[in-house]
Structure 1
Amino acid sequence: MMHPLFVRKSFFVLGVLTALVSAHDASAQQTGTVTGTVVDSGNGQVIAGAQVYVPGLQLGALSNAQGRFLIVNVPAGRREIRAELIGRQTASQTVEIQAGQATQVNFLLESRAISLEGMVVTGVAAATPRTQLAFTVDQVKINQGLAASSPNFGSMIQGRMAGAKIIQSSAQPGDAPSIQLRGPKSITGSQEPLVIVDGVISRGSISDIDPNDIESIEVVKGAAAASLYGSRAQAGVIEITTKRGTSLSQGRTEFSLRNTWQRNTIEHVIPMALSHEYRMSADGTQFVDKNGKPVALPSQRSAYALDDGGNGTNQNTTFKDNPYPAALFTGNPYRQLMQPNDAYSTFFSVSSNQGPTQYRVSGRYQRDKGVVAFHDGAKQVNFRANVDQQLSEKLTFSLSSYLTNLKQDVSVGTSGGTTDISGDNPPAGSVFSDIDEFSAATTFFKREENGHLSIYGDPVSNGTNPLYGLELDTDERETQRIMVAMDGSYKPTSWLTLDGNFSFDRSDVSETHISPAGKLRINNTPTLGSMRLDQNLRRDLNASVTASLAHNFGDLTTRTRFRMLEENQLNKIHRASNSNFAVSGVPRLALLTGTASIDSREEKTVSEGFFAVTALTYKERYVLDLLGRRDGSSLFGADERWQNYYRMSAAWRMAAESWWPFDAINEFKPRYSVGTAGGRPNFNYQYQTYAVTSGRIVPKILGNSKLKPELSTEKEYGLDAVVVDRFRIQANYVKSRVDDQLLQVPNSASLGFESQWQNAGTVDATTWEGVFEVSFVERSDLLWTGRLNVDRTTQKITKLGVPPYELVNERARIIIKEGESLGTFYGFNWARACARDLPKGTDCSLFQLTDDNFLVYVGKGNDYRDGQTKKLWGTVATANGTAYSWGMPIRSIFENGFTNIGTAQPDLNVSFAQDITYKKLGVNLLFDAEFGGAIMNQSRQWGSRTSVASIDQRNKPEELKKPVAYYGPNFLYAGNIRNDFFVERSDFIKLRELSFHYGLTEQDLPTFLQLTRATINLTGRNLHTFTSYVGADPEVGKSTFGGSAAVGRIDEYFYPNYRSFGLDVELVF
């Protein structure tokens, strides 16, 4: 059941909506209308999408496809009317409005590729010109060709702004990326920003939102601007507005059809050894055992003799440098697994403006097969209906609705899973982790007489074919989601607007995992099968009432908003699993005879908030913004149910002063903002919890009635400038502190409980952001612009109210320690300097630094290259009382203490975009880069047991070859204990996007087609990566660590990022 308080208040909000819909326009205020056309001053063509509005009043409209606009309910009297569009010079006219009459106002807009023009609606009191903004709100330019090929809106942000980091932790079709704004904020919580879609506060996956429907994206990156959203906004806010029918001219209906096809390919795979270390027959066609007899294939590796020049068992003198017989060689097994594949979609929309009624209906079917053989990828069907109804001159009603169904094949694993980091345990949960045990003689696609794939994928290692399970098992996830928002708006006077909102967001996620009976083990014995069902219901209800006031008092423009918001959240989780099918081929849990595992959980949360915000602008150059918010939530401890947040911002448009001496600097606006926002505790943190162990109830977590949300305080110092209307500069220096970090603190034994969630830590961060835009060429037929984004964030745990600890359920040694950054890897270093890394008194002349940059023992008179010629490999000698294996890497003397061996946070993020429009042809180019971060390459370390490329010695000079043992458990692999050899720099430069689009107008198209326009797009994404990283892709991370893959930069056999290129055709009629 819903919380009764929420029900009562929801009925109140619904009552307000009903009252708005039925309200009678009783105002005596006399009004008129403003109509006209917006035209390009250079070529005389009409301009669509220009914002035409009355400053100081919440009145405005967008110009339609014919350049026309209509503004109703404009108060009689002398009024200023403005027209703005990004890339255009703002135009303004002052006219006399006559009551009951239409006033004609036409605008000529000059091209201006670089400016601060445009309106912002996120985080502000009311729609605000960017020139009057006192904090940073980034707007993403929507390229419809790229939107059609984007898997989700996260990829539309990627590389488009400073301070935003998007990491696709798993490129499995349908999976969402991790989004992080201005670095990590929480030690234990999520780093994901709050997402709002058409007023719906969303907790669902961003993959559910169709990029084709998006009209605009605005991003607020920190508490200095996000305070409006209170205790959910410390990680930032992304607000999405979808397309509606309001942009069309009255009486017009428009149909569009878009078809997209893409080809998916993999650029890089995990490098694998293409040679082996086994003894061969004299003719080089067969493997032999220790007695020299041929070994029948398939067989285990232990059956072969090592080519060690001795008894066939000594890895210290064995080199992986023998070629495979030509009849067996198949190459890198990862290349076999990765298969080029297709993605395609069909999208339609119907938009109409029938006077008081405007609507837009759209739908899309999308199919993405990914790049993995026998993996079904994802299928998604979306439907959206947006309706706007003007009931009177002062009363409007809007409906925004969205329905989606997403089906995913999740059989190759995701970025979850757990294991003990201290031992020699394999990464679990991904088919990719099996493949590094396979040799270059692998044949995954061989079938048996029964038609099934052979269970033996590799005749040399006799390993289980991972595609065997992919083909037989069922691993599916289905997401059904519905989002609905109802908005009513009543404007009794020119300066007051009353709004009511009610929104509903429900996601039903179900997973089915079936391993059928009869599936073979590697010894050819059949299994009895197993089955698991997971169901997760997430439902959000939100309601709000808002009063907005906007008025001019002479040169002072005021915008003020008051709001009350109610939230109700429900989570239901059900899980059941069992094994041993009694009946084959009937996937029902009731038919399994093993020991069942059943679990369920239900969580209900009620929250409410109140805020007041006012923005004051004097003479359009002095800006002051003040905000206060109060939040209450059942997630907070009983003694801390209510929390307060604030924002204070100011800006000065100095270039607008009469005394400004620099004519070349068109805009110069220093600004400052300080604000607070929060991060809510998880549902169970405040409660006392117990566990049942062997029939006994055992105390676990001690409750905490004083638990508060995390508190982020951010100070933003910024500058916006425009030079000669050709260059735009934005610079931000941001200091943030997140206090009251939510940490699980160990208790003393006397309390009877193991631990308690407390507010016990602080994270400090500093961010630098720079944006430099330039217009290279501005002509009537050619526009060429470029944008450079640069950002750097450094952060540190400055207070930790618990002893340092490691995240023991992750496959990297991640430390949480005062003085360290979030995302710091701990492990041991290999010796590289004798005086520093070896015991005191060691004779350093006995050691050398190798070509691999390891300090090794060589002995007196020897060189590290003498291993084979002097038969030194495998020998052991003593120096200063310590035994050393000749030529092998040596652990630093500090190995037992473990130390910082890398930090995930990069030193610098850079992106560079260019947009070129020549007549009807457009070109978009985007490069994205990262420098200075670290990745724990678990894929490479775990693979060092057998077959990764670094073990392959065939193409090395004889004196530089290293034996198999060099990479094995006693040395570099080190039993999978984390060490600095497997921490690699994340540096890369990626050609993120390249697109060509050509537009045809009605005049260019045959009349019999009855088309208004047509657009052809050629698009490519992630086309090429320049990197020295030894893995599939340096854009990798684990989303289950640190709340974001941008923090948990661990490469752990995830579904690799792939590139795509394709064709998109849109027809409008």
Structure 2
Amino acid sequence: MTALFRGLLACAAVALATSALATPAPAQPPATSSTQPAPSGTGVITGRVLDRGSQQPLAGAQVVLIGTTRGTLTNDQGVYRIAGVPAGAHPLRALRIGYAATSQIVSVTAGQTTTADFGLNATAVTLDVVSVTATGNTIRQRETGNTVATIAPTTSELAAAGNITDVLNSRAPSVYVQQASGSTGTGSRIRIRGANSISLSNEPLLIIDGVRANNDVGDRQVPGGGPATNVSTAGQVVSRLNDLNPEDIESIDVIRGPAGVALYGTAAANGVIQVTTKRGRAGRTVWSAFGETGSLKQTTDFPSNYGALGTFASNGRRGPCTIDSRTRGLCTVDHIVSLNPLRDNSPFRTGERFSGGGSVSGGTERTTFYVSGDVQREAGVQQTNNDRRTDFRANVRADLRDNWNVQVNTGYVGDRLQLPVNDNSVLGLLSVALLGRPLSRDSLSGGFFSGFTPDILENLSIRQRTDRFLTSVTTNAQLLPWLGAAGVLGLDYFNQVSYQAIQPNRVGFGDLPQGSADSDPMQNYNYTAQGSLNATFHPSASLTSTSQVGGQYSRVTFHGTNAFGAVLTPGTSSLSGTSARFAVSEFNTDNVLLGAFVQQQLAWRDRLFVTGAVRGDRNSAFGQNLGFVWYPSVNASWVLSDEPFFPRVPGLSSARVRAAYGRSGQKPDFRNAITYYSPYAVRVSGQEVGAISFANGGLGDPALKPERTGETEAGADLGFLNGRVSAQLTYYTKRTDDALVQLPVAPSVGSVAQRFQNLGSLRNRGFEVQLSGKLLDTRPLGVELTVGGSTNDNELLNLGAGVSPITFNAGAGAVQQHRPGYPAGGYWAVPYTFADANHDGMIARSEVTAGDTTVYLGNPLPRREWQLTPAVTLFQRLRVQALVSHRAGYKVYNLTERYRCVLGNCLAIADPTAPLADQARAIAAAVYGTDAGFVEDGSFTKLRELTFTLSASPRIARMLRTSAASFTVAGRNLWLSSKYTGFDPEITSTPGSNFTSADFLTVPPVRTWTARLNLTF
């Protein structure tokens, strides 16, 4: 810990060095105009940035002195100003998303103001798109050999998105977001370029304004410590990623794999989602406001519950007569009964959504600000599903000196969420509705299982109260003309309390009539401290050398308790009102990371770039015998079209080739490498005495290492038709070694059954393509199109010598396995064949033949996906945009229908007119115990979003006393095409797990329509 403490001090010293080492200069008063005199020996650069075609000013364009950290953004009039520029000739660059960057040499005279204007051409080519690096600096796409997907949500896209995972869904190749359910406030599963780990999380690293932020998924958020809460929804989980307010997002950079994230070190192997929140711009103060309202509706056509009545030959009595009984000659059907409680007695309501808020931004050349606040209320389609959110953000940037700036970002979210019990619960809404038996007393309660009507289930819900603060301080200084410094200090903190109170005598199941109370508070702290130095040299007129060195300190602490009590006093709702079966537990996590990195880039004539870097990490979760772990990277980018020898090909306007290699890792879970004990009371000679035993999972391996993933990617970026059309092609292959595998421990050790060891390896490889462009750009009509797609081939290479395949999700007749030579988490089951041999239109058990051993059926994650985003603009006022998503090459376990058939209430087991394949899979499951027929093709095509945005003309905007106004109508989950026989192939009852996946009584996604008004003053 002493070394780690010294490392923290070193990082903090670098972050604060800007104050001590900044070039001495008298403090300047805030600039109010471009005529303010410059300090002696320096001058001022000012000018405008315009759209070259329309000659309209471009707000938010970035103007930077090449090779330094000095730069600024243009205001609403496209004007910029950079003060304190040393006298001499300087290369200056202007760039903005959607435009090609332009550079020029500007000669600065001491004490004078130099004007440099820019005209930028619109382009679909992404070579000059700027993204944020691991060191906190910015970099253009042309300078790096790996791909970065940059997502900048528009107001119309925000109208269609309920949270940040909706913003990410189907926006970039290889970024797979699985919308797990239709419950308001629940999370999604995110995978980038497949799954890398068997035992550790496969969720990406989340960074917000330079701070490592919590991105846990689920109600089990204690690494290595067991469940964080006794309060369970029985399936759906909450994602901390959705705490981030989409309204405050400036851009999202998705770095897809280790080839581009080596400098992020341990925890970045699954890719990085890097969020930059909005900043203010110099100029007039801009006020913005929005209001949104909408509805949520469950549009799924839920199946009926069936029962067949017949007469039994043995005793002449009437009773339930399934196809199996009928084909065996035991009974004769004379009547089929059906009930559909979700249609005839629908418990679903039309949900409502409301959100509103505003922001104010502006400032001078010295100080800018952005302040926002909004509220959101959403009532889901179930009575016990409601969410209330309040968000606040304040971002302030100040130039303390001409060569030194500080950015302070602060955000708060308060969330009050109510979740229903669903999925794998006998008391879930879909459970009681879809497992109801028409031939029993269930028919007296509207068809709901055992009389558990929706009004009874309304007594079961989980409430969660979350308060989250995220603060960061970022500083940049140009210490010398060739030397810059950057630093980040930040904290991500949240306090979450999950609780449930079940009043006595409200739910007649098990011990529930006694009533109970759960309360599970938890606190999580993520600290980040990072500092770096950046040196730029020009060994020759054609060569630029950029060197970076820095360090990072990160600490994550977690504390949570579980408390439960039964026999609740009526009318009370706290633990103090309980009197029996008390249970309490406590969980703690404290993980410290110390990292150091160095990077060297050589740039030749701004067209050929070669970069090498290495990062070393030491982490408290590593085994005690392990020191620093090193992650190297190297990448190259060559803009061939800038070379004089590049042939002039008609229609081809730019061409770049690139390649990158890098390694990253994932630390073991907390305490996996540590041996620890739990106290017990034992009786010795008739008396109780204290004793200890290995805690569950407490037999650590002192040699435990992080999982390490190496990735190579290569590709090309092409521009056509003067930049109107762009194409991006990428191939990647990555391999994870030292993957953690749980091995059994000899029973003689004690209570420990398994412990982790570094044994396994996995591989992912695939292709990515993205095409985008403006197909037509005229005043009456504009047509844009973006098409993206990817493939992923996942394979578990080995589990270690002599280790048997790992089986999980084995509660029914199909299982998932980690088996070498196949995709991780693949589905396995005993196969069967069938034939209607007697041609009676029914499948008998004698006509179904089951195999002898399990076979591989398919993988749980899509192997292919593509997205299509067309947009049409009419008369520059009406814009219509759609988002179509397609995923294929994977299987979905339809466990809902399997249970219905085994219980005897699905159509296939009752009605002889049901398809033969459906009858056969029901017979195979009921008689032979194989669910191979219920592992179905999950391929689908979905119209995920459709938006209509009408922008007000300048005359109407003036009538409204605004500078701009727009009205958007947006729909989500509007159409689905799939051969999958369940509700929706995207849903899963276990989104918080790594691979476990099944459609098991999960509420499918809802259809939403919203109307949104945006005003700018």
Q: Give TM-score, length-normalised by structure 1.
A: 0.84
Q: Say if 1:30 and 1:1050 are closer, same or farther in 2 by CA, change over 3 A.
A: farther
Q: CA deviation at 1:766?
A: 1.2
User: Could you tell me how far apart the structure 2 residues matched to 1:30 and 1:238 are?
Assistant: 42
Q: Say if 1:330 and 1:601 are closer, same or farther in 2 by CA, change over 3 A.
A: closer
- 1:585-629 CA-to-partner distances (Å, cap 9, x unmatched) read 112323322121110021211111011112221012211011110
Q: Is the 8 A contact 1:637 1:706 kept in 2?
A: yes
Larger radius of gyration: 1
Q: CA deviation at 1:198?
A: 0.6
* Match in the other structure for 2:384: 375
Partner amino acid, structure 1, of 2:309: Y
Asked if 1:1061 corresponds to 2:1009, the answer is yes
Instruction: State how 1:46-125 maps to structure 2 within 5 Å.
Output: 46-123=57-134
* Match in the other structure for 1:650: 636
Q: Is the 8 A contact 2:379 2:387 kept in 1?
A: yes
Aligned to 1:509, the other structure's residue is in SS state strand
User: Could you tell me how far apart the structure 1 residues matched to 2:747 and 2:252 are?
Assistant: 52
User: Could you tell me how far apart the structure 2 residues matched to 1:943 and 1:540 are?
Assistant: 45
Q: Is the 8 A contact 2:525 2:558 kept in 1?
A: yes
Task: Please say which of residues 151-160 and 335-344 is displaced more in the overlay.
Answer: 335-344
Q: CA deviation at 1:83?
A: 2.1
Partner amino acid, structure 1, of 2:770: V
Q: Is the 8 A contact 2:765 2:792 kept in 1?
A: yes
Partner amino acid, structure 2, of 1:898: T
Q: Is the 8 A contact 1:702 1:754 kept in 2?
A: no
* Match in the other structure for 1:778: 777
User: Could you tell me how far apart the structure 1 residues matched to 2:635 and 2:250 are?
Assistant: 28
Q: CA deviation at 1:819?
A: 1.3
Asked if 1:1000 corresponds to 2:952, the answer is yes
Q: CA deviation at 1:822?
A: 1.0
Q: 2:459 aligns with which of 467, 472, 475?
A: 472
Instruction: State how 1:822-901 maps to structure 2 within 5 Å.
Output: 822-832=824-834, 849-850=835-836, 858=837, 862-865=838-841, 885-887=845-847, 889-892=848-851, 894=852, 897-901=853-857
Task: Please say which of residues 677-686 and 198-207 is displaced more in the overlay.
Answer: 198-207
Aligned to 1:48, the other structure's residue is in SS state coil
Q: CA deviation at 1:127?
A: 2.0
Q: Is the 8 A contact 2:529 2:552 kept in 1?
A: yes
* Match in the other structure for 2:294: 262
- 1:9-39 CA-to-partner distances (Å, cap 9, x unmatched) read 5566556666645776416993322211122
Q: Is the 8 A contact 1:38 1:67 kept in 2?
A: yes
* Match in the other structure for 2:261: 226
Q: Is the 8 A contact 2:159 2:969 kept in 1?
A: no
Partner amino acid, structure 1, of 2:497: S
Partner amino acid, structure 2, of 1:663: V
Partner amino acid, structure 2, of 1:767: G
* Match in the other structure for 2:304: 272
User: Could you tell me how far apart the structure 2 residues matched to 1:315 and 1:797 are?
Assistant: 48
Q: CA deviation at 1:339?
A: 2.6
Q: Say if 1:461 and 1:94 are closer, same or farther in 2 by CA, change over 3 A.
A: closer
User: Could you tell me how far apart the structure 2 residues matched to 1:32 and 1:429 are?
Assistant: 73
Partner amino acid, structure 2, of 1:322: I
User: Could you tell me how far apart the structure 2 residues matched to 1:98 and 1:1038 are?
Assistant: 67
User: Could you tell me how far apart the structure 1 residues matched to 2:211 and 2:378 are?
Assistant: 27
Partner amino acid, structure 1, of 2:114: T
Task: Please say which of residues 533-542 and 948-957 is displaced more in the overlay.
Answer: 948-957
Q: Say if 1:810 and 1:708 are closer, same or farther in 2 by CA, change over 3 A.
A: farther
* Match in the other structure for 2:999: 1051
* Match in the other structure for 1:402: 411
User: Could you tell me how far apart the structure 2 residues matched to 1:483 and 1:163 are?
Assistant: 28
Partner amino acid, structure 2, of 1:276: G
Partner amino acid, structure 2, of 1:1010: R
Identity of aligned residues (%): 23
Q: CA deviation at 1:133?
A: 2.3
Q: CA deviation at 1:412?
A: 2.5
User: Could you tell me how far apart the structure 1 residues matched to 2:587 and 2:100 are?
Assistant: 57
User: Could you tell me how far apart the structure 1 residues matched to 2:558 and 2:854 are?
Assistant: 41
User: Could you tell me how far apart the structure 2 residues matched to 1:316 and 1:926 are?
Assistant: 54
For structure 1, the residue ranges without an aligned partner over 5 or more in a row are: 281-289, 293-303, 418-426, 444-454, 833-848, 851-857, 868-872, 875-884
User: Could you tell me how far apart the structure 1 residues matched to 2:350 and 2:448 are?
Assistant: 27
* Match in the other structure for 2:576: 590
Asked if 1:743 corresponds to 2:741, the answer is yes
Asked if 1:359 corresponds to 2:369, the answer is yes
Q: Say if 1:685 and 1:663 are closer, same or farther in 2 by CA, change over 3 A.
A: same
Partner amino acid, structure 2, of 1:718: G
* Match in the other structure for 1:1012: 963
* Match in the other structure for 1:983: 935
- 1:197-253 CA-to-partner distances (Å, cap 9, x unmatched) read 1111011411100000000011100000010101110000011000011x242xx21
User: Could you tell me how far apart the structure 2 residues matched to 1:109 and 1:153 are?
Assistant: 31
Partner amino acid, structure 1, of 2:767: W
Aligned to 2:586, the other structure's residue is in SS state strand
User: Could you tell me how far apart the structure 2 residues matched to 1:967 and 1:650 are?
Assistant: 54
* Match in the other structure for 2:50: 39
* Match in the other structure for 2:30: none
Q: Is the 8 A contact 1:316 1:963 kept in 2?
A: no
* Match in the other structure for 1:679: 666
Q: 1:939 aligns with which of 893, 896, 899?
A: 896
Task: Please say which of residues 456-465 and 217-226 is displaced more in the overlay.
Answer: 456-465
* Match in the other structure for 1:788: 787
Q: CA deviation at 1:399?
A: 0.9
* Match in the other structure for 1:236: 271
Q: CA deviation at 1:940?
A: 1.3
Q: Is the 8 A contact 1:271 1:1030 kept in 2?
A: no
* Match in the other structure for 1:483: 470
* Match in the other structure for 1:507: 494
Q: Say if 1:1061 and 1:82 are closer, same or farther in 2 by CA, change over 3 A.
A: same
Asked if 1:911 corresponds to 2:882, the answer is no
Q: Is the 8 A contact 2:152 2:250 kept in 1?
A: no
Q: Is the 8 A contact 1:936 1:982 kept in 2?
A: yes
* Match in the other structure for 1:710: 707
Asked if 1:972 corresponds to 2:973, the answer is no
Q: Give TM-score, length-normalised by structure 2.
A: 0.88
Q: Is the 8 A contact 1:320 1:963 kept in 2?
A: no
- 1:472-501 CA-to-partner distances (Å, cap 9, x unmatched) read 234211111111111232222232222222
Q: Is the 8 A contact 2:558 2:588 kept in 1?
A: yes
Q: 1:667 aligns with which of 633, 637, 654?
A: 654
User: Could you tell me how far apart the structure 2 residues matched to 1:474 and 1:482 are?
Assistant: 26
Task: Please say which of residues 25-34 and 897-906 is displaced more in the overlay.
Answer: 25-34
User: Could you tell me how far apart the structure 2 residues matched to 1:132 and 1:687 are?
Assistant: 43
Q: Which structure has the highest strand share of the two?
A: 2
User: Could you tell me how far apart the structure 2 residues matched to 1:42 and 1:442 are?
Assistant: 74
TM-align CA RMSD: 3.2
* Match in the other structure for 1:635: 621
Q: Is the 8 A contact 2:898 2:931 kept in 1?
A: no
Task: Please say which of residues 33-42 and 503-512 is displaced more in the overlay.
Answer: 33-42
* Match in the other structure for 2:167: 156
User: Could you tell me how far apart the structure 1 residues matched to 2:930 and 2:678 are?
Assistant: 33
Task: Please say which of residues 925-934 and 347-356 is displaced more in the overlay.
Answer: 347-356
User: Could you tell me how far apart the structure 1 residues matched to 2:45 and 2:977 are?
Assistant: 55
Q: Say if 1:602 and 1:124 are closer, same or farther in 2 by CA, change over 3 A.
A: closer
Q: Is the 8 A contact 2:11 2:553 kept in 1?
A: no
Q: Say if 1:702 and 1:310 are closer, same or farther in 2 by CA, change over 3 A.
A: closer
Q: Say if 1:107 and 1:13 are closer, same or farther in 2 by CA, change over 3 A.
A: same
- 1:149-196 CA-to-partner distances (Å, cap 9, x unmatched) read 422222212111111100022332222211110000001111111010
* Match in the other structure for 1:836: none
Partner amino acid, structure 1, of 2:605: K
Task: Please say which of residues 1028-1037 and 945-954 is displaced more in the overlay.
Answer: 945-954
* Match in the other structure for 1:855: none
Aligned to 1:226, the other structure's residue is in SS state helix
For structure 2, the residue ranges without an aligned partner over 5 or more in a row are: 26-38, 216-239, 683-690
- 1:816-836 CA-to-partner distances (Å, cap 9, x unmatched) read 12112112011111125xxxx
Task: Please say which of residues 693-702 and 126-135 is displaced more in the overlay.
Answer: 693-702
